[in-house]
Each structure stands twice: as C-alpha cells, then as structure tokens.
Chain A
Amino acid sequence: MRKASMYISPAIALLICIAGCAKQVGKTGSRGTRSTYVIGMSQCNRGEPWRVQMDADIKAAALKRPELKALFKDAQNNTATQQAQVREFIAQGVDLIIISPKEALPLTKPVAEAVDAKIPVIVLDRKVHGDKYTCFIGADNVLIGRKAGEYLARVLGGKGKVVELKGLMTSTPGQERHEGFMQGIEGSELEIIFDADCHWLEPDAQREMQSALARFPEIDAVYGHNDPSAHGAWVAAKREDKGREKTTKFVGIDSLPHEGIRYVRDGILSATFEYPTGGREAIDVALKILKGENVPKNITLGTRIFTKDNVNKGGEVL
C-alpha cells in the first residue's frame, strides 16, 4: 500500500498487458508446458531512480503472472559484478535472463555464454555487441528529443527563446536528446540562447538556470534533458520572484511517476516525455519466448507525452 503511488502508470500499462496476454494463458495450459519459470534479472545500477523504476515495472508485470518467478540482482554500477551475475544465473539454470547492461563490450561474452547454454537473454536499454542475444528492447532518445522540440515549437507558435539544460554530454542519451531536439525545432524560429552541461543533476541545473535568468530578461521555454533538471530550473525561476516560473514553459524527459508525472500534475512542468523502461514489455516478450513463440530481434519503444490535460489518463502515445 505504501508504494501505491509509485505504480500508477505501470498499473495502467499492466491493464493493457493483462488484456493482451489473457488468451495466451489458456494456450500455455493446453500445451502442457512447465508450470513455473524462473527469470533472472541483472540491473546495472539501482542507484538511478529510472532503473529502480525498471525493476519495479518488471516486478509488477511478473507478479501478475503466477507462472513466473523473478530474481533481481543489482550490479551496483560495477561491470565485473554484472558479468559474475550473468554467469551465476547460467550456473543456477534459470529459464530466462533479462539484463540491462552497464557496458556493451564486457557483457557481450557472458550474454553469449548464456545463449550457448540455451538460456534466452532479453537485453534492455543498452545493447551488447554482435547478435548473440535473443531480443533487445530499447527506447529512442532521438525520437523523444525530436518530439520535445516539435512540442515546444508548437506551443510557442514557432518562435521563442529556449534554455537547454543538457544531460551529461559525454553520454549517448545526452547527445541523442540534444540531436533530436535540434531536429524537432528545425525550420521554426526557436533559438537556443543559453545551454549548459548539467550532468543530469538537479543542483547543477538550478545553478545554470540562475545564470540564465540573470542574463536574459526573456526566456520562453526551458528544455531539460531530464525531469529533475527542468524542475531545478523551475525552482530557480520561482526563487527569482518575478513570476517567470508561470510564463516560461518547462519541459523534461523520463516521466517517472513520482518525479516528472507529478510535476506535470502540479503544474510545474508543461510537459514530460516518457523514456520507457521496457520492463513491462520485457515480461511480455519473456512469456512469448518461454512458450516457444518467435519474437523480433530488436524492439524500439515509442514515447508518451504527459501534459496537464492528459496526465490523469496515462498520457498520450506519440
């Protein structure tokens, strides 16, 4: 009950999932396959809220399937630990492995070993090299950035001054969210007047926004590469006490239930764009694999936009 608020959006997602899977349950019974399956999940770093959410999504989806038992391991941001975890799962003889790898290259071999041992592997979010895995599920940061750019161009009437608070720009998501955004505002008269690398951190975003506010009397929108950055910028604008937190549009990415979605509901952010964890989809795919059905090699997830109008309806699929 305590965690109920964290599960609002996965719960909605689950309803859809249950409806979709209902037929398959009967099929399993009739084929007389094994009654329970053990899934091993290796998460690279539970220190990140988004990854905590991924585990929560997997757990919630797996709980709805009595035939599935999920084991969770946290590599605590250590590649060697994660390599060991995959090998532990192989030794243990789990029926399927889900992995969200910390790094591609060092985890390619352990994943291949699992496939050689006839254990299917679903790779989430970050890829491994080669094609020795069963299914990759990931989101498209360029697409999300583009949708954010198109949204701002639309609500600002194609013209305006934008502050971009970037994520860590040496990381691929940071680069892609920037690249996509530039594609999205192409052709409009939106102009980025101030930008800074905020390393995904809210305090850094708040500091940079204070500089931007001091320098520019007119800021029409703030594009944060994640929701905490956008929130930090809003707090800085509010602290300035000139009412600019109301006239500026703040947009973020990720849409975690207790962060971005709540900020939209409270009127802090104009919009947040979901970066789906793929946790729910991973369980869907896992069930298909375990039943011997064919699954696509690569699945790219779409995004959803949450605004004040649709936030209570679970957002809008883009």
Chain B
Amino acid sequence: MIAGSDILQSAWRNPRGRTGALILLIVVVAAILGPSLLPDPLAQPDVLGASRPPGLGHPFGTDQLSRDVLARVVTGARISLSVALLAVALSVTLGAIIGLVSGYWGGIVDAALMRMVDGALAIPRLFILLLVLAVWERVPVLALIVLIGATGWFATSRLVRGEVLRIREEGFVRAAEALGARRRRIIFRHLLPNALGPLLVAATLGVGDVILLEAGLSFLGLGIQPPTPSWGGMILDSREVMISAPWAGIFPGVAIVITVLSANLFGDALRDAVDPRSA
C-alpha cells in the first residue's frame, strides 16, 4: 500500500506534476485574492469604453459592455473552481460509497448497482445534464453543483469496486475477517485507505473535466447565469463580437486551457505515482 503523503511527494518530484501543481496554486490564489484587487466585474463604466483592446488600465481589454475582461476572468476563476471542487468532492464521495457497497456486499446489490451504472454510462454526461437542465428556467448555482456531482460518480464507483474486489482477497483482509473484525472496521480501516490512491487520481483528473463541462453548459446558456461572470458564459457573450473584440473571448478560453492543463498534469503525475507501470 502506498500512503497518501507518499503519492503526493512522488507527484511533486515529477517536474511536470510540480509545474501543474504550482500553476494551479497560482490560479487558486488569484481566484481568492484577485476580485478584491480588481475593478468590479459587473460594473459598466461607460459606453465609450466598450470593446477596448488590451492596454494600460485594462490589461485584457474591455468587453462590449465596457466591463473589464481581466476582472471578469479572475472572478470567473473563483466560480469555475468552486463549482469544480464541490462537484468533484460530491462525485468522488458518491463513487467511493457505491463502489465500496457494490464490491464488498456483492451479489444482487452489486449486480443491480452495476447494471444501473452501465445504463448511465451509455448516456454521455453532457446529455444527462442537458435533459435535466433544459426544462429548468433558471438554474441555481447550488443545483448546478449537485447535478454535475451526481452525474460524475459512475466511472469512479467502477474503479473503487474493482479495487475492493482485489483487496478483499488479500491476506490481511482475510485475516481481519477471521479475527472477527466488524464490517465497518474492515471497510474503513482496510478497504478505503487502500483505494485512496486511485480515488485521488480520479478526483484530480475530474476537476479538469468538470471545469470543461461547466464551461460547456454555460456556453449553451444552461450553466452559470449572467450577469455572474463564468468562463463559458464569457465565451458565449463574445461570439457576437469575436471579429471586433476577440480578446473578450480569447482570454477566458486561455484561462480554461491553463487551469485544466495544470490540473491534468498534476493528475497524471499522481497517476504515475499510484501506478508506476503507466509512466
């Protein structure tokens, strides 16, 4: 078994993993501190200042409503990251619980759960969300987080189930069972800690996926609702001014690429640490 801190240390020693972690840290700090240092992302100072190219005063330019693009990108980071972290926390928890139950209890519970997961995996996540969100008039952010989290655990539960099935046959679990350890003790002391590595990897890679997913939903008008700035929503707004003010759409996209890429670089380094064969 590899402990969580060992995995993190090993990922940190990987140059690309470290680059990813550092960039992600910068994005997080910017998201926390940025909004208080920058102009109000909702303020529309004047019509004459609309669609200004990047320059002094507005490093990323202004959009068609004269709002500061940098301030909106940074506030968007706060929103995108919070949605992603909360949704991933929910989906990983659900995936872990269902995977543990399915793998440990087995039998009909396992069969029923896994058939359901098969069915759910047949519908791409985007379509599941479209179906629910399309009839919803205005989606509250909390509902969006819950929905994205509730549609992200299918693959994780399979992963955890596989780990549980593998570990359950190991000598130390058999020994614990023979010694009369209770189910709860076996699950929390033996099974869960051993499945933690793959879960950590799934969570980190899940952050990147959810950022892309939320941006996509917002681009379709179903995610974060205006005027709250979100990266996908900003790209949607920029569609009509792409020719006259391309910066309004380019910068939020670059922010997505940088954030998702660094999360995935770190996730890959974690994966290599958990499963050295994949390196």
Instruction: State whether these chains interact.
Output: no
Interface residues of B (CB under 8 A from A): none
Interface residues of A (CB under 8 A from B): none
